[in-house]
Amino acid sequence: MLAGRIAVAVLAALAAARADAAVVLRVDTVATPPDAPGVEITASNAGDEAAVGVTPVVVSQHVTAAGDGARLDPGARRVWRLSLPPPPARAAVPAIGQVRWAGAREGRGSVPVVAVLRAADAPAPSVDATLVATPLARVASMRFALVNRGDTLLAGRVVAVLPAAITTEPQSQAATLAAHASTTVPIMLDASEARVGVDYPAFAFFEYADGGAPQVVVATTTLRASSERGSRVPLLVGGGALVGALGVLAFALRRSRRPG
């Protein structure tokens, strides 16, 4: 068994707002050891106004875990430990969700969270991943680069996990990665609800099978809404949305779009 916490995709996610924002929520997420699978989420309020109803919700393997709502006064910190189903033997599976909050001046917001739950006998991933984003105008993009260091062709799907102010369609798309090869998956973003000057955390993960067991690799980046907003251009809607638990999560992560 692995000792201590597995610091997978540790996030220093800044969910905040304008320069005069009242609530600045920082969130760190780590996966817990295989003998006690789940995630530990820490939220702290670096702003000058209380964040109320701070609630983490995480989905893994079609199971949803939620923490109790909390009030975080300026400078306050809260830790939640959420239990989740263990991954299958030799497998690594994603745990994805959000931490929601509300403030008197800033309204409501959310910070996306992603961690990887790994079985004790899971091999190290054979795929490297990086995520790079353009500055946010009303329409922007991320480029999810994957490198396969292994000897086997890998097929799976790429999933984007975004804050409520930024959306994408489709949220999941198929990807194939040849042995000893690389590929880049473009992810289009609708940032028409994003606020200028705000840093938004964003994630993408590649979920695939390797040696008969599920595997996953995650990358993260920070999105910043620029002052050059331009005109709103709707994204082309692609194939079907996520299924099962990811369908529920997509609803939680996305805000309804107002007509252009």
Class of domain 13-253: mainly beta
pLDDT tops 70 at residue 210:
yes
Is pTM, for the whole model, over 0.75? yes
Alpha-helix residue ranges (DSSP H) falling in the chain: 244-253
Distance CA 153, CA 128 (A): 14
Q: Token pair of 55, please?
A: 């609630």
Between CA 41 and CA 114 the distance in angstroms is 10
- pLDDT bin (cut points 50, 70, 90) of residue 102 is confident
The predicted model gives 45-71 an average pLDDT of: 94
Segment 232-244 shows an average pLDDT of: 35
- Nearest to 141, CA basis, from 169, 113, 115: 169
Mean pLDDT computed over 48-66: 95
Q: What is the mean pLDDT of residues 149-173?
A: 94
3-state helix, strand, coil in the chain (%, to 5): 5, 50, 45
Distance CA 77, CA 86 (A): 28
Nearest C-alpha neighbor of 181 from the set 128, 124, 125, 217: 128
DSSP code for 253: H
